Structure formats: structure tokens, C-alpha cells
A and B are shown apart, each in its own frame.
Chain A
């Protein structure tokens, strides 16, 4: 598809007051999570993934890659915002055992 995952400083340490968002936990493998992510059925510019414990969202930067896809970046996400349809799918795939909020 040509899409590329590339983390951005807004979600990384070091903290800069007034310039940061939610911070990804150390050691999180953004590229692997992105590969395993699911597209939001209602908002195609968003994808979701889980490591079984935490939920993550990837957001399209809307900037084209040389191969015609888009750059994406990700950040930790609220379970309560992971669409119910995706949580149902993850339960059937054994990624989580019950829906989370």
C-alpha cells in the first residue's frame, strides 16, 4: 500500500511544556503495531492496534510517501474510543478476552 509508519516528536520524550501530547511507553514497537492495525470503519484516516494490554491509534499525516502512500504516526489511545466493531473483531481473534472501556 506504500504507507509508512514514522513516529513524531509530539509523542516522545523529552517533554517540552505546551508542545507534547500523549507519550508512547518506552520500547513500544510502532511499526509492528501499525502492520497489525485495523482501519476505523467510519474514519479511514485512523487505524487501531493493541498489544493485548494497551490500545493504540495511528493517524494519517496526509503527507505522501515517495511510493504513493501516506506517512502515519501513532500514540496511546483510550480503550473506550476503540470502536465496538473492532473490539468485537479482536475478541474473535483472541487479542483481548472481553470488551474494554
Chain B
């Protein structure tokens, strides 16, 4: 095998892609354009070569196949690859590879939607085809690699699904890899390589209409005239922009956004809220309204839209709050989101709370930090609250009065602490933040915020102090009820927290909530 051409773009310590063309001496009937593109693809994610694999015990660093369809797949699916975050059917896991596998393992017919099982399979397949590179390979063996948007980042996740007909001696070495890198960086690397590869193919096959047409398609990805803006915005807003009807509905909705926001906002605030027409390879920073819609339940109704935009409008007229304190956290690698949230909650308690007090006064802490909050009705009962965060203007928590667990004092305090976790620690996901704490928010972020809230409101220090004051052990329901009342948290939150701290067994935690001893 002779490598006749090669190109590498990106940074192999984070994300990089390399395409090579290789001579293929085998003779058989095959599309001449594709035959010319026989070669290899190498991909690095988080510095790990995810195309490295074994064949008959021999390590190969790249996947081999006809590359023209893969180049065409990148060009054809560019907008969803770099703008669509929302998973099909259900937000089943934190990364796309895990979620898509889980949706198949848990039978699609059990997913709660108004679609029949074949329509659900179709929805799964359509999303898979837009995001999994295996869709570009007919007969080849590529890694189970997904690319999708994640906040302002591109998420590249590699699962362990295998291709039928893969020999037992063929094995990808690096699966279960998840990398999240700036969308523009990933897009630029891929664009650079596919453009150069297609130019090389055009040089070799100057009469090929397929290759010259692909070259034009790749050129169009730069979107000099902004013609792709609406579709990209629709993807960022959680709309399936493959459906022209859905795009039409979205355009209608977006025009009302402008009306509702009104004319009082200054130019910067309007830019933050709705962005402006511009081209380029990718929309680097999502407008805040798109982030709001994209992480809210797909059943967003007119009232929800009014409530969300009214609150956003208010935030964009508030001054920027004081600088946030930097919370010092121990650097512990490879923690689960729950463990990480717990560490962050304990650290934030030490920095922000009055440690002489018998409970954490979350409302006073928010006031001190300049974070406002209000309550309103959103239709989705699974949405706890929405945090609106800007660098230039205010920071606001909108609590859903309609939340399934209510808004009693313990629930409200937990909600505010949960949102504080988002505000303090989730700003790296995107420059502008609109976190909807509900079933469509990134799962790991929600798990972390829940653990943060539990640790912040029920830190080990306070639990230990209260435990010593009890005449009976804290795992007895009677004592737990008193501790929960002192901390102003719900009994179920306290039971969960004690279970996570391994102070009680699962049985004892259940007894605290449901038992009578």
C-alpha cells in the first residue's frame, strides 16, 4: 500500500483529523470516484487516537475505506453536526454515544411519546444518520463515533457498537471516549481536511461532476451570505430542522420572540438574546433564547415562551452583579457528577455560608451575590427552575410554580441551591447560559447540581454538629425529622444525603422517608 496524499488538521493533543489516500491494487467493479478516494482516516479526541485498532494482532492507527462518502457525509450533515444538541426521543444519558445505545437497549416501544414504535425507530435512525460517522461507510468498519453540539462546544463521543461481519480479530482499542472542545476549533479542523482532500480528488478526476459538486458544497459551508443561519438557529433551539414544516414553525416563533422582547433593549442585550445574521463555518455562541428553547421541553407553548422571554427581558436590563467568589475545590480526577457536585457543595458552603448559623440561608447568600429570583408558571411540571446567566447583565433564577414537587420552603431552598450550583460551576459550557433544570438539560450537569444542592444545604459539618445534639442516632426517623426541620430541608433530601455519605443504608434511608420508626 502506498500513501499518495495526506493532510492533518487540528491538534493531536485535543482534537485532530487526518485523511490519507492510498493506492488500492484490487480490481473489481466500483464507482470510479470512490475508488480514487480509497484511504484512511485517523481521529484524535482528548489526545486519544480513537481510530487505532487491532487487525489479526497487528496495531493499525487508522480506519481504512473509501473516503469520498465520508467527506460527503460531513458536508451534507454539517449544520446538525455542529448545531444540534437535542437527542431524539429522550435525554437518555450525558453523552450521545451512551444515550443512543441506551435508547436501543431500553426498548424504543417503552419510550413515552405520541409516536408508534416504528416512528420512534425512524426518529432514532434519522438522528443517528446525522451524527454517527458510521452512516458514511457502506461496508467498512469505522468506530462508533458521534459528533453533536454541546453548549458552545462540540461533543465527540465514541461508543462500543460493532459492525456485523467484523472478524473477531478486529477490535477498536479506544471506546467510551468523550471529548468536548470549542465547536469552531473542531469544525475548522474538519473543514480544512475535507476541503483539501476534495481539491486533491478534483485534481485527479477533473471531469467528475460528483467531486466538483462536493467541492462547491464544502465551499458553501462557509455560509458567506448567511443563508444557513435560520436552519442553524433552529438546530440550536432544539428544532429538528430536517423537517421543513418544523423550520417554518420555528421561523414564525422566532419572529414573535423579537416582538415580545420589544424595543427597549440596547444593542448588546439584543445580540445576547437573539444574535444577529452572520455566516461562518459555525455559530460559535448560541443566542440565549436559542439556549432557552433548546433545553426546555419540546412541548414549549405560547405561555412558556412569554414567561421565559419576559424574564430574559428583565435580566437584560439589570446591572451586572458583583464578581463571584472563586470557590477553591480539591482537584480529584475521575469523579462521577454526583461526587463532583458533593465536593463543590461542601467547598461552596465553606466559602459562602455563615458557619455559625444552624442552617444555610440560601436567600441571603443569593442576595449577597446579586442573584435575583422570582416565581412564575411554566407548563412543564418536570421543570424545576430556569437560570438566566449573562456576563454583561444580571443573573436571575426563575422558579417554576408548577413544579411537580411543589414550592414548599424545603423544595424552594433546594431549587435555589441547585440553581446556584449551575450559576457557579456550569459557565464553561457556554459563554451565555440559560439552564433549564428539567429532563432535557444535560444529565451530568443536573446530577452535579443536585449533589451540589444537597451538600451545600446539608454539609458534613452541620450534619455532624446536629447529630451530636440528638439524644437518639440520626438514622432513627424521629431524629432525622428533627434534623431536617433544623436544616430546613425535606426528609427525603436528608435521607438521600445521608445515604450518599454512607451514614445510613438504603433500607434505613427508605425507613426515614416511608417508615415509622
Contact = CB atoms under 8 A, between A and B. Distances in A.
A76 to B, nearest CB: 3
Given A10-B28, A78-B161, 10 more contacts: A21-B141, A22-B166, A59-B139, A62-B31, A76-B165, A78-B163, A84-B119, A84-B122, A85-B118, A85-B122
B159 to A, nearest CB: 12
B224 to A, nearest CB: 30
Residues of B in contact with A, size category:
35 or more
A35 interface: no
A17 B56 contact: yes
Instruction: State the 4 A-B residue pairs at the shortest beta-carbon distance, nearest first.
Output: A22-B165, A76-B165, A62-B31, A76-B164
A80 B164 CA distance: 11
12 contacts: A15-B169, A18-B55, A21-B139, A21-B140, A21-B141, A59-B139, A63-B31, A63-B32, A76-B163, A78-B164, A84-B118, A101-B104
Nearest to B33: A62
Nearest to B129: A81
Interface in A1-39: 6, 8-11, 15, 17-19, 21-25
Nearest to B63: A18
Interface in A68-95: 71, 73, 75-78, 80-81, 83-85, 87-88
Interface in B133-147: 134-135, 137-141
B54 to A, nearest CB: 10
Contacts of A81: 125, 128, 135
A55 B31 CA distance: 23
B165 A25 contact: yes
B28 A19 contact: no
Nearest to B1: A18
B108 A101 contact: yes
Interface in B102-138: 104, 108, 117-119, 121-122, 124-125, 128, 134-135, 137-138
A49 to B, nearest CB: 13
Interface in B1-30: 1, 22, 24, 26, 28-30
Nearest to A70: B29
A97 interface: no
Contacts of A10: 26, 28, 139
Given A54-B164, A57-B138, A101-B108, A19 B26 contact: yes
Interface string A41-69: 00000100000001101010111000000
Nearest to A17: B55
Contacts of B121: 84, 87, 99, 101
Contacts of B139: 10-11, 21-22, 57, 59, 73, 75
B128 to A, nearest CB: 7
A71 B65 contact: no
B64 interface: yes
B198 interface: no
Contacts of B31: 61-63
B244 to A, nearest CB: 15
A23 B64 contact: no
